[in-house]
Amino acid sequence: MTISRHDGRMFDELRPLSFVRDYTKMSMGSVLVSFGDTRVLCTASVAPDTPRWMRDSGEGWVTAEYSMLPGSSPERIRRRTSGRDQEIQRLIGRSLRCVIDMAALGERSITVDCDVLSADGGTRTASICGGYVALHDACERLVLAGQIPGNPLFTECAAISVGIVDGRPLLDLPYLEDSTADVDFNVVMTGDGSLIEVQGTAEGKAFSRDELTAMLDLAAKGITEINEAQRAVLRTPPEPRATAP
């Protein structure tokens, strides 16, 4: 299959990917993740308590919030939490909770905030990829501060979009492709190749089981590459930082 993606990528190729660690210095974890022109600032904040319904369980909690800055899109976005935002932040939270041992985290909660600085498709999957790194740094700093014996994250968590555009399965869709896709899938996987979430939506045109298979294969390939980048950035420990008790 020869390619003709507008940005010159192969059908199964990710956009240029980077994680800028400690992009700001105020949070326990702070990562600027980029997939091409999509840039999301992910910060992880630790609080010494948990939601009311899980008090005294001995376990911790991880939650996420997602928002797009008004200037992140060519058409300015109004400041309000839309239904779409809520759906996305629930997805991010569920995904991250699948790779962390809540008992090992202990009775504290971590909020992962994903604020989109620049939106060019794939903001929710980028949020999961960057949110994992920010969460890892926050946990690592709890370890460095002696608050927990080891990092409660037991595998990586990453996500990518795939879709069918003009009948062809494509990996990591920027806005231009996303807006013309017949099918739009978001896949979240662990670092050991298991599935966490599969969310696929026909945009006006239903799809077949064979197309589903092709998309899942593409997603698995992309996520493997993202996991490698995550491991690379996390190879060295973060600088210690003062923590809440």
Going by C-alpha positions, the residue among 166, 169, 195, 198 that lies closest to residue 185 is 198
First to last CA, the chain: 56
Number of other CB atoms surrounding residue 29 within 10 Å: 27
Number of other CB atoms surrounding residue 140 within 10 Å: 20
Among 3, 10, 47, 232, binds a copy of itself (CB under 8 A): 47
Task: Give me the sign of the Cα torsion angle 212, 154, 27, 235.
Answer: negative
Q: Which is nearer to a copy of itself, 1 or 26 (CB)?
A: 26
Q: Judged by CB under 8 A, does residue 22 bind a copy of itself? A: no
| Residue 12: both structure tokens together | 């199964």
Tell the smallest beta-carbon distance from residue 191 to a copy of itself (Å). 10
Tell the smallest beta-carbon distance from residue 174 to a copy of itself (Å). 12
Among 17, 33, 40, 41, binds a copy of itself (CB under 8 A): 41
Q: Judged by CB under 8 A, does residue 200 bind a copy of itself? A: yes
Q: Which is nearer to a copy of itself, 2 or 206 (CB)?
A: 206
The answer to whether 125 and 185 are in contact (CB under 8 A) is no
Q: Which is nearer to a copy of itself, 40 or 165 (CB)?
A: 40
Among 204, 235, 236, 245, binds a copy of itself (CB under 8 A): 204
The answer to whether 185 and 203 are in contact (CB under 8 A) is no
Q: How far apart are CA 123 and CA 200, in angstroms?
A: 16
Q: How far apart are CA 131 and CA 208, in angstroms?
A: 32
Among 173, 216, 218, 229, binds a copy of itself (CB under 8 A): 216
Q: How far apart are CA 96 and CA 158, in angstroms?
A: 9
Contact range with a copy of itself by CB under 8 A, out of 3-11, 52-60, 65-73, 224-232: 65-73
Q: Judged by CB under 8 A, does residue 147 bind a copy of itself? A: no
Fill in the per-residue mask, 96 to 135: x = in contact with a copy of itself (CB under 8 A), - = not in contact.
-xx------------x-x-x-xxxx---------------
Residue 155 to residues 15, 97, 110, 119, 231, Cα–Cα distance (Å): 23, 11, 17, 28, 10
The answer to whether 143 and 196 are in contact (CB under 8 A) is no
Q: Which amino acid is at 69?
A: L
Chain positions contacting a copy of itself, by CB under 8 A: 23-27, 30, 37, 39, 41, 43-45, 47, 65, 67, 69-74, 76, 79, 81, 83-84, 86-87, 89-90, 94, 97-98, 111, 113, 115, 117-120, 189-190, 194-202, 204-209, 212, 216
